[in-house]
Chains A and B, each alone.
Chain A
Amino acid sequence: MSEDASYMRQSIIPVRLRSVDPAVAIAFGCIILLLLGGSIYSSNFLSPDYLLQQLKVASFLGVIATGMMMVILLGQIDLSVPWVVTAGAMMACAATAYGTAGSIVAIPFGILCGAAIGAFNGAAVAYLRIPSMIITLATNAVVQGLMVVYTGGFAPQDAASPAMRFLATGYLIPAIPNGVLVWLVTGILTVFLLTRTTFGRSLYAIGNRERAAYMSGIDTRRITLLAFVISGALSALGGVLLAGYASKASQSMGDAYLLPSIAAVVLGGTHVLGGKGSYLGTVAGVILITLLQSILSVMQIEEAGRQLIYGAVIVCMLLLYGRQKLA
């Protein structure tokens, strides 16, 4: 299957299109199919209002998946997303309680907390060589414990500041929600980082073979640490946006983002063992998952059916293009 695809790519498709990852193309194709299929059910699916609303919802997952993608490119994984998202949201809301000064530092403070947790993860993975799957799982448990102790089992100061609400739901430019703008800025920065800086190149190099990257003089440990810091910070930013959107922080608000963020990154053609993938693919994966969830819920399919279709679609799409080469 994969051999056929690569053969075809070399022979039939013109040179310019050859660099397009088939995974990204298939993902975007599926998005269009979903929209067309939805429009048969109701013409609202093609209206600009609906599409912008979907982009707004997708922006939360988009920001979180961006961080996840950096870590996956390294060949690691970040399972601490659920409670880093929650911690970012809760800490930002908590800072709001301390008057005007608190409100001003709320957003940076939330992101900083996420970055600190990310730094801890990164240090453990890079310098202590603990497998990322274990240490991020443990971090998740510890952060959960800290948040439960902090909130005393209920939410003390949980209202989002006006700035957070503006960041998530306001309109700086007419018609385009700020959440989408945040995602756009994050995305542009990420594309720049991944394609134009030594940091980005090093990420791919480490993901392909850390040993070789180390031998060619890359400080692989520093890069790994940085990638985890970015992942933590972006998860917390996602949490801040979510808190602004729901105008409060609550426990377990981040639970729904771990598996979709991994799925979005992988559906976008990023290799789950690292070293290969483009940001465009992640964007496609995020939009695909958000649209799929939205269309299924608009069609009033029950939660059970939604989960079934959601899982089946991911498996089928991966079988289309995510298969490993034969040994």
Chain B
Amino acid sequence: MSAKSPSDWRFWYVQHKGTLLAAALFLVMFVIYVSNHPAGFTPNVVQTASKKATLLAFVAMAQCFVVITAGIDLSAGMILILCNCLASWLVVGTPLQTGLGIVAVLLTGLACGLLNGLIIIFGRLQPIVTTIATSAIFFGLALLLRPTPGGSVNEDLADAFTSKLFGIFPTSLIVLALTILIIWVPFSRSVLGRAAYAAGSSENAAYMSGMPIKRAKLAAYALAGLLSAIGGLYLTFFSYTGEAAFASGNAYTLYSIAAVVLGGVSLAGGKGSAIGAVFGALAFRTIGDLLFVFDLDPLWQPLFQGIVLMAAISIGCIGLARVRNRLEWFQ
């Protein structure tokens, strides 16, 4: 990175404020968590924590792609469930079969996202209702594949993807980082990614400037499907089975929105990054773990999680006090 002038740094800071805050929030929580954990800071503790967080991190990243274009994907959790069920059929057998299975699962996720995008962009429907409807379709497909929980997965592969690299780094975190490097970084720096941001912050202005809005949105929805599919694959690696669980699909969708908000991505679009969303997801999962180390009754976990979530989003409204013109409330 070349030398930057102070004003460049300030610009960089303003642009990445949400992401930095999310990272700081996660770090604080994780330090509290680890320092109170009976085992301390060991690879095993980190691995267990990352295991829980990776799934949500993938779905949150998927949600982030869509939210940046000022849309929303309420079917992300169901794509994850569908891919989990599909993977429990396909990702088995010889290495070649397993490899083809993984490709098939990822393509299915991509197709699901593409379907969402096509309906929303070329059917000109609202993202909220469209993805509600398609989530019913995806869940129906998942139920067709797995009426009852079952199936299996190539266990060698699953273990390889969920163990530790060199006995220290959790593989799931490395895959997460690689995904960011391979999918998010090129996307956000490409013309399409810029157009996605532009469409999110002001669609009319972006249209007038001749940006490829439709292609950008379509790419965002499709990549969101792909990322949810990676989450689904990972769910299969962790659980070794496929299950069409309605409640957990819904929970992933709702938590992904929460994680995205915690990660500093604006639901109004045009602001934030997938890295922030990932930190948001990690922070959200650490909240749940905090209770565990403080030996609180697990009954209190949902309430605690809700209150921390509410506190985190209330911080966002502090900016209101700085608004001088009341008309700016109504954006």
Query: Is A188 engaged at the interface, CB distance under 8 Å to the other chain?
Result: no
Complex partner residue of B133 from A133, A137, A315, CB under 8 angstroms: A315
Q: Determine whether the beta carbon of B257 is less than 8 Å from that of A134.
A: yes
Number of chain A residues close to chain B: CB under 8 A: 57
Tell me the chain A residues, 128-143 only, with Cβ under 8 Å from chain B.
128-131, 133-135, 137-143
Check A263 for interface membership: any CB of B closer than 8 A: yes
Given A129-B317, A148-B299: A315 and B305 within 8 A (CB)?
Answer: no
In-complex Cβ contact of A138 among B128, B143, B309 (8 A): B309
B189: Cβ under 8 A from any A Cβ: no
A44 in the interface (beta carbon within 8 A): no
User: Which one of B129, B142, B143 contacts A262 once the chains associate, using CB atoms below 8 Å?
Assistant: B129
Find A145's partner among B143, B203, B307, B330 (CB 8 Å cutoff).
B307
A303 interface hit (Cβ, 8 Å) = yes
Instruction: Encode contact with B along A299-322: 1 for CB under 8 Å, 0 otherwise.
Output: 000111111111110110011001
A259 CA / B133 CA spacing, docked (Å): 9
Q: Is the CB of A149 within 8 A of B330?
A: no
- Most B CB contacts (10 A, CB to CB) among A128, A214, A272, A315 go to A315
Partner of B303, one of A145, A318, A319: A145
B 29-40 binary contact with A (CB < 8 Å = 1; else 0): 000000000000
Please, which residues of chain A bring their CB within 8 A of the CB of B128? Answer: 77, 262, 272
Kindly supply a per-residue 1/0 record for chain B positions 111-147, scoring 1 wherever the CB is within 8 Å of any chain A CB and 0 otherwise.
Answer: 0000000010001111011101111111111111001
In the complex, residue of chain B having the shortest beta-carbon distance to the beta carbon of A130: B317
In chain B, positions 14-43 with a C-beta closer than 8 Å to chain A are none
Partner of B330, one of A141, A211, A272, A311: A211
Contact residues, A277-327 vs B (CB, 8 A): 302-312, 314-315, 318-319, 322-324, 326-327
- In the complex, what residue of chain B is closest to A214 when comparing beta carbons? B330
Docked pose: A319 CA to B115 CA in angstroms: 14
Please give, as numbers and ranges, the residues of chain B lying within 8 Å of A324 by CB-CB distance. 124-126
Q: Does A174 touch B at the CB level, under 8 Å?
A: no
In whole angstroms, how far apart are the Cα atoms of A149 and B296 in the complex? 12
B320 contacts A by Cβ under 8 Å:
yes
Point out the residues of chain A lying under 8 angstroms from B329, CB to CB.
129
The answer to whether A307 and B299 touch across the interface, beta carbons within 8 angstroms, is no
Given A133-B257, A145-B300, A324-B124, the answer on whether A211 and B143 have CB atoms closer than 8 Å is: no
Residue numbers in B under 8 Å from A217 (CB-CB): none
Question: Looking across the interface, which residue of chain A has its beta carbon closest to that of B207?
Answer: A327
Produce 1/0 per residue, B183-211, CB < 8 A to A: 00000000000000000000110010000
Q: Say yes or no for B174: interface residue by CB 8 A criterion.
A: no
Tell me whether A319 and B137 are in contact (CB under 8 A): no
User: Which applies to chain B's interface (DSSP): helix, strand, loop or mixed?
Assistant: helix
Also in contact, A312 and B137, with CB within 8 A (given A149-B300, A214-B330) = yes
Interface residues of B in 232-276 (CB under 8 A from A): 247, 250, 254, 257-258, 261, 267-268
Is the pair A273, B126 in contact by a Cβ cutoff of 8 Å? yes
- The answer on a CB contact under 8 Å between B247 and A145 is no
Q: Is A144 an interface residue (CB 8 A)?
A: yes
Contact A318 B306 (CB under 8 A): no
User: Is A106 engaged at the interface, CB distance under 8 Å to the other chain?
Assistant: no
* Of the residues B141, B143, B261, B302, contact of A144 by C-beta under 8 Å: B302
Q: Are B124 and A141 in contact (CB under 8 A)?
A: no
On whether the beta carbons of B125 and A307 are closer than 8 Å, the reply is no
Complex Cα distance A259/B136, Å? 10
Question: Does B100 count as interface, using CB distance less than 8 angstroms?
Answer: no
Nearest chain B residue, comparing its CB with the CB of A143: B306
Contact of B129 among A131, A141, A306, A318 (CB under 8 A): A318
**Across-interface contacts of B304 in A (CB, < 8 A):** 145
**Residue B327 CB within 8 A of the other chain:** yes
Contacts of A141 in B (CB 8 A): 258, 302, 305-306, 309-310
- A318 contacts B207, C-beta separation under 8 Å: no
Q: Are B140's CB and A311's CB within 8 A?
A: yes
Bound-state CA distance A42–B320 (Å) is 60
Q: Which residues on A are within 8 Å of B, measured CB to CB?
A: 77, 79, 124, 128-131, 133-135, 137-146, 148-149, 152-153, 210-211, 214-215, 220, 252, 255, 259, 262-263, 266, 272-273, 302-312, 314-315, 318-319, 322-324, 326-327
Given contact pairs A130-B314, A142-B303, enumerate 13 new A-B contacts (beta carbons under 8 Å): A128-B314, A138-B306, A144-B306, A148-B302, A148-B303, A149-B303, A214-B330, A215-B327, A259-B135, A262-B132, A303-B140, A311-B133, A311-B137
Write 5 A-B pairs (CB below 8 A) sorted by A numbering: A135-B310, A145-B307, A263-B129, A306-B140, A307-B140
Closest 10 CB pairs of A and B: A145-B303, A307-B140, A311-B136, A141-B306, A308-B140, A304-B143, A142-B306, A311-B137, A145-B302, A314-B133
